[in-house]
Amino acid sequence: MSTRWLATFESDLPRIIADLEALVRLESPSDDAQRVSQLAAWVHDRLRERGVSAELFPCPPRGDAMLASIGDRERGSLLLGHLDTVWPAGTLAEQPWRLAAGRASGPGVFDMKAGIAVGMAVLAAIVRETCASPVSLLLVPDEEVGSQASRAMTLRVASAHRQVLVLEPSLDGAAKVARKGCGVFQVRFRGRAAHAGLEPERGASALGELSRFVSFLDTLAAPAQGTTLTATLARAGSAANVVPEAAELCVDARVWSRAEADRVTAGLRGYQAAVAGVSLAVEGGFDRPPLEPTAASEALYALAHRLGQELGFELGAARVGGASDGNFVAAAGIATLDGLGPRGGGAHARDEHVLVADLPVRAALVAALVCEP
């Protein structure tokens, strides 16, 4: 079964590469709603030409989402991905599309235009070969900036399916069976200004308290369990000779489990200032819950692993720090397997590329997962 799919996608490879080139050439930075919507429309139009029904959904203030479906969603699989990239418009001029030595390169090719090309190929082949299994493809406009505008839609669409296959990049070919949850906290400190030379004792240093807070992060973190707290941005003070009245700190938090997310949130919110006259407020929280392995997702991985063996490769299982929309849908209790995109490297980096020979292999794996009863 899966090897039959491999033959199908090997003969479709020229079309898949042409799609991938067009996808990369249509630059789609998250903050440019118009360009992202143009890409959504391009995918929508190609799928319709190939006999798949597709619709566009506005996600203000971001660009459009694209949803294509074959058959009855209730029993079907959802292929999930994103249209946006981290690259600003114009990157293509410095980092052009290239196809050489078995690699395709260009901005966004790995994260995750190759995954989009695979999803399009799977839907087109399923329509053509009339496999009875229902399948949908949802591409959102804002995953790289936290999916605020598309999250409700993703959850609604995902919960109408039996399983979610996320076409985000693989990690050296491995699927992503666990992802850390991530949070961003903003901490604002308020003290009292005073002349640093004449009467510093009348001041209350917001910066002094900020520095204590940064040390406190080390006591709250649990690196052995994967819980990290990183102070990433800081701002304080108004002049070189004034005790700082205000300070701000941004903290990036990553955890493997919900329990750790709750512990870290309570710890940060419960912090008591020690510098007399300084108060603080902690805002923010865990924006994406951790993707924790469940029985349903482990069964899905086991199936994918067996199908991979039929296709001649060992599908690894990776645990990664970065979050994706797979985190939301898994936390909602839907069987989810992430990182099914083709092999490659350099996500968010200048050497971003995918291995062309892996495109038909991944398409065959995804199609086999969709069509497995």
| Residues near Zn ion, by CB under 5 A | 111-112, 168
Q: How far apart are CA 354 and CA 159, in angstroms?
A: 31
Q: How far apart are CA 98 and CA 191, in angstroms?
A: 55
Q: How far apart are CA 69 and CA 71, in angstroms?
A: 6
- Nearest distance from C-beta of residue 360 to Zn ion, angstroms: 21
Q: Are 301 and 177 in contact (CB under 8 A)?
A: yes
- Nearest distance from C-beta of residue 227 to Zn ion, angstroms: 23
Q: Are 235 and 278 in contact (CB under 8 A)?
A: no
- Nearest distance from C-beta of residue 176 to Zn ion, angstroms: 11
- Nearest distance from C-beta of residue 195 to Zn ion, angstroms: 51
Under DSSP, the state recorded for 130 is T
Closer residue to Zn ion, CB minimum distance, 52 or 323: 323
Closer residue to Zn ion, CB minimum distance, 289 or 339: 339
**Count of alpha carbons within 13 Å of 31, Cβ hemisphere only?**
4
Q: Which residue is nearest to Zn ion (CB)?
A: 111
- Nearest distance from C-beta of residue 144 to Zn ion, angstroms: 6
Strands (E), 203-326: 228-236, 246-255, 279-288, 317-320
Strands (E), the chain: 53-58, 64-70, 77-82, 98-100, 103-105, 135-140, 163-166, 175-179, 181-190, 228-236, 246-255, 279-288, 317-320, 335-337, 344-345, 353-355
* Three-state secondary-structure class, residue 180: coil
Phi, psi of 188 (to 5 degrees): -110, 130
Phi, psi of 297 (to 5 degrees): -75, -30
**Alpha-carbon dihedral 34, 345, 286, 83, rounded to 10 degrees:** 20
- Nearest distance from C-beta of residue 82 to Zn ion, angstroms: 6
Q: How far apart are CA 163 and CA 257, in angstroms?
A: 21
- Nearest distance from C-beta of residue 143 to Zn ion, angstroms: 6
- Nearest distance from C-beta of residue 56 to Zn ion, angstroms: 20
- Nearest distance from C-beta of residue 344 to Zn ion, angstroms: 12
Q: Are 48 and 131 in contact (CB under 8 A)?
A: no
Closer residue to Zn ion, CB minimum distance, 85 or 265: 85
- Nearest distance from C-beta of residue 356 to Zn ion, angstroms: 19
Closer residue to Zn ion, CB minimum distance, 116 or 249: 116
Closer residue to Zn ion, CB minimum distance, 64 or 111: 111
Q: Are 250 and 231 in contact (CB under 8 A)?
A: yes
Closer residue to Zn ion, CB minimum distance, 111 or 260: 111
- Locate tokens 């995109």: which residue? 341
Phi-psi label, residue 284: left if phi above 0, alpha if psi -120 to 50, beta otherwise: left
Closer residue to Zn ion, CB minimum distance, 120 or 217: 120
Alpha-carbon distances of 94 from 97, 119, 296, 350, rounded to whole Å: 10, 28, 44, 10
Closer residue to Zn ion, CB minimum distance, 87 or 189: 87
